[in-house]
Amino acid sequence: MLETDSCCLRYAGHSLRQVVHWTGKPTTRARLPCPHSGPVPRIRGDALTRRGGQYRTPRFKREKLRMSENTASRPDLRNVAIVAHVDHGKTTIVDAMLKQTHAFSAHADVEDRVMDSGDLEKEKGITILAKNTTVFYDGPSANGETITINVIDTPGHADFGGEVERGLSMVDGVVLLVDASEGPLPQTRFVLRKALAAKLPVILVVNKVDRPDARIDEVVSETMDLLLGLASDLSEEVPDLDLDSVLDVPVVYASGKAGAASLNQPADGALPDNDDLEPLFKTIIEHVPAPTYNPDEVLQAHVTNLDSSPFLGRLALVRIFNGTLKKGQTVAWARQDGDIKNVRISELLATKALERVPAEEAGPGEIVAVAGIEDITIGETLTDAENPKPLPLIKVDDPAISMTIGINTSPMAGRVKGAKVTARQVKDRLDRELIGNVSIKVLPTQRPDAWEVQGRGELALAILVEQMRREGFELTVGKPQVVTKTIDGKLYEPMEHMIIDVPEEHLGAVTQLMAARKGRMENMSNHGTGWVRMEFAVPARGLIGFRTQFLTETRGAGISSSYSIDPEPWAGDIEYRTNGSMIADRAGAVTPYAMINLQERGTFFVEPTSEVYEGMVVGMNSRADDMEVNITKEKKLTNMRSSTADSFENLTPPKKLTLEECLEFAREDECVEVTPEAIRIRKVILDANERVREFRRRARAN
């Protein structure tokens, strides 16, 4: 019953569920029992598989048999999400799909990674928001028809996991992209677990096969291991998950940059033997099921994303599950709080490539935008006005990291012309972020002008602050903290599973670095390539400020990524920074003379002539304790001519910190001042005497 090239599969004829039961729960590295290194067995889709001595039909055949007269499908439609680790080529492959289906006119000037529309996305080269586009396919596999493929481009960072979960709620299948050299990485595991839990069929695309260091066989094998391991882990959480169908995954070999794909495995480092994406389109049409619906059911449309238009106001992106949505129609709006309110659809927009075009109506399975409902938010349902049937809300993972965001309270507040400095403006902006971002929470603090913002990770919160800065806000941002829980009277904290790839010579330094941050090594493998892969369980707070230090220790060669796991008891205090701060003891302008005299004491963050205030951090002390310095000291003028008059060539250039680096550097008693023109680190208490009193007060309390 099992199709395999392996010479001696002991458990042939039995289902994967039985194999898992007999052999114990496999890890992500587990293979089916075979003493030889043959490929991972595949389940043949058209064969009957055996369970408990009885033969039965595979999953997709059972679904067809189960379809009653009340179930219909849309063969002209496919909804698919593209998921992968960071930088494995999701957006590039969507680009190629759009170009090969002639989505753009012949004279259109189309840039690379056209889906990354935001300024921050273009600068950082990462996808932050999940976006949808529509591909109209009329190639050979369409049999003379035009098939509409709705493609959701998702972020690769686990910090933006809410976007991935939202994207998966809109689709019927998943295209999993894996780099032909790097193989499956933590975020691959994160997004794949979400897809399997949602019982979505998976298509494996091995991308970048033309990389010189490609290792295609090993990557396919590792991905199959991962699928098997995840399926066995989920078998308890999702009881009706069909383990037999999990490894029945079609494999496509592609190069997104070249816009080529093939079902035949190329040699490592070679391009596919086909020069377009036709095999990928064919695989999507064959393996992603067409949307099914009940023709007798009332309208049910789920709000999965939000957008805005300068002319139409707020737009709600909806996936229609049953019924038909028409322009001008009155529908019931089922809100998060349980209220149901009748509203009118003033405008209905369908997606064509990257543009939204007016439409008169939309049917089941389609993803469209509706206008006319001002306060609608993600997870709500548009349903029939006479017989409302709301859909369940979208559930996302709990936040792990929090930071305090408030108005700018420094002496330099309000100096930028046109900046937004009031508490009301900041609160309105955070409330607006809540509407479109399901992964964050905003909680009040003891102060009326500051709020606690919780998110998945440091990067997600830093990007929110950066966006607000670019919009003209002045903010004070506290150091990132972890969101703890109390379970049975014990304090628990969020944990991360960290996977690190480093050259062998940096093994000791990285192990030492992780040990200082309470990391626990769980696995280590050396493939004999000069690189070592280590796996750690580490508290989420141990990763605050980790990236900069890690890149310094590995001289920029290390690769690290993580995903969240179950919380564990509090691991104890972690020392983040061994260096103290250099603090300005008075306001004024920075002088070169003072900097030359002080530069042996540490590293500066400010330039000559820049303005400072009392309590502002102007540099990093080479010792562990804080040091107050007079960085505004001027050279006394005399009537004597000096042979060393103002020799500035000895001045070491200051270190320019980005927003993420400032947040990493700041200690518990420090915060970051963010304005449209500058980013400064400062003490929470600016006055030196006040700081001393506060320190003594805390020491007495402890």
Q: Is residue 254 a contact partner of residue 282, using CB atoms and an 8 Å limit?
A: no
Q: How confident is the model at residue 65 (pLDDT cuts 50, 70, 90)?
A: very low
Instruction: Give the mean pLDDT of 555-571.
Output: 77
Instruction: Give the mean pLDDT of 29-55.
Output: 37
What gap in Å lies between CA 211 and CA 257, rounded to an integer? 11
pLDDT of residue 505: 86
Phi, psi (5° rounding) for residue 508?
-65, -45
Cα 263 vs. chain centroid, distance in angstroms?
29
Q: Is 310 exposed, middle or buried (0-12, 13-18, 19+ CB in 10 A)?
A: exposed
374 SS3 class: coil
Cα distances (Å, whole numbers) of residue 433 to 64, 368, 427, 659, 664: 42, 22, 10, 19, 23
Q: How many helices, marked H, and strands, marked E, lie in the chain?
A: 16, 41
Torsion of CA 582, 585, 591, 597, to 10 degrees: -50
The DSSP output letter for 193 is H
Which is nearest to 130 in space by CA: 194, 191, 81, 195?
81
What gap in Å lies between CA 163 and CA 154, rounded to an integer? 7
DSSP string over 74-109? -TTEEEEEEEESTTSSHHHHHHHHHHHTT-S-TT--
What gap in Å lies between CA 215 and CA 179, rounded to an integer? 9
Segment of 5-19, 464-478, 558-572 carrying the highest mean pLDDT:
464-478
pLDDT of residue 10: 36
pLDDT digit string, tens, across residues 582-599 = 888 888 898 888 888 888
CB environment 661-674: b (16+ within 10 A), e (fewer): bbbbbbbeebbbbb
What gap in Å lies between CA 547 and CA 587, rounded to an integer? 33
- Within 524-683, where are the H helices? 546-553, 592-598, 659-665
Q: Is residue 388 a contact partner of residue 299, using CB atoms and an 8 Å limit?
A: no
pLDDT above 90 covers a percentage of the chain that reads 0
What gap in Å lies between CA 404 and CA 453, rounded to an integer? 6
> Which residues share a beta bridge with 674?
475, 679
Cα distances (Å, whole numbers) of residue 231 to 13, 79, 199, 320, 467: 19, 23, 10, 29, 38
pLDDT above 70 covers a percentage of the chain that reads 77
Which residues are within 8 A (CB) of 210 and not within 5 positions of it... i.e. 6 or more apart? 255, 257, 258, 269, 270, 271
Instruction: Give the mean pLDDT of 135-142.
Output: 82
Q: Is residue 174 a contact partner of residue 249, using CB atoms and an 8 Å limit?
A: no
- Helices 458-470 and 423-436: angle between axes, nearest 10 degrees: 130
What gap in Å lies between CA 62 and CA 66, rounded to an integer? 6
What gap in Å lies between CA 591 and CA 589, rounded to an integer? 6
pLDDT digit string, tens, across residues 205-230 = 888 888 888 888 888 888 888 888 77
Instruction: Give the mean pLDDT of 285-290.
Output: 87
423: enclosing H helix or E strand? helix 423-436
The more confident residue out of 95 and 693 is 693
Q: How confident is the model at residue 9 (pLDDT cuts 50, 70, 90)?
A: very low
- Lowest-confidence segment of 17-31, 231-245, 354-368, 487-501 by average pLDDT: 17-31
Q: How many residues can be counted in the chain?
A: 702
Total Cβ atoms within 10 A of residue 39 = 13
Cα distances (Å, whole numbers) of residue 254 to 268, 494, 646: 12, 37, 61
What gap in Å lies between CA 190 and CA 457, rounded to an integer? 14
pLDDT digit string, tens, across residues 433-485 = 877 666 788 888 888 888 998 887 777 788 888 888 888 888 899 888 888 88
Which is nearest to 378 in space by CA: 441, 319, 435?
435
Which residues are within 8 A (CB) of 94 and not within 5 positions of it... i.e. 6 or more apart? 82, 115, 133, 151, 153
What gap in Å lies between CA 646 and CA 596, rounded to an integer? 10
What gap in Å lies between CA 674 and CA 402, rounded to an integer? 17
Q: How confident is the model at residue 636 (pLDDT cuts 50, 70, 90)?
A: confident
Instruction: Give the mean pLDDT of 498-503.
Output: 82
pLDDT digit string, tens, across residues 389-416 = 888 876 666 777 888 888 888 888 888 8
Q: Find where tokens 């149901």 sit.
A: 340
pTM of structure:
0.65
The more confident residue out of 236 and 253 is 253
The one-letter amino acid code at 211 reads R
Sign, CA torsion 456/115/82/27:
negative
Q: Is residue 372 a contact partner of residue 343, using CB atoms and an 8 Å limit?
A: yes
Q: Find where tokens 């349980």 sit.
A: 338
In the predicted structure, residue 111 carries a pLDDT above the cut 60: no
What gap in Å lies between CA 458 and CA 159, rounded to an integer? 8
What token pair was written down for 11?
């458990």
The more confident residue out of 88 and 496 is 496
What gap in Å lies between CA 683 and CA 129, rounded to an integer? 34
Sign, CA torsion 302/305/309/313:
positive
pLDDT of residue 398: 72
> Which residues share a beta bridge with 150?
79, 134
pLDDT of residue 657: 84
What gap in Å lies between CA 274 and CA 349, rounded to an integer? 36
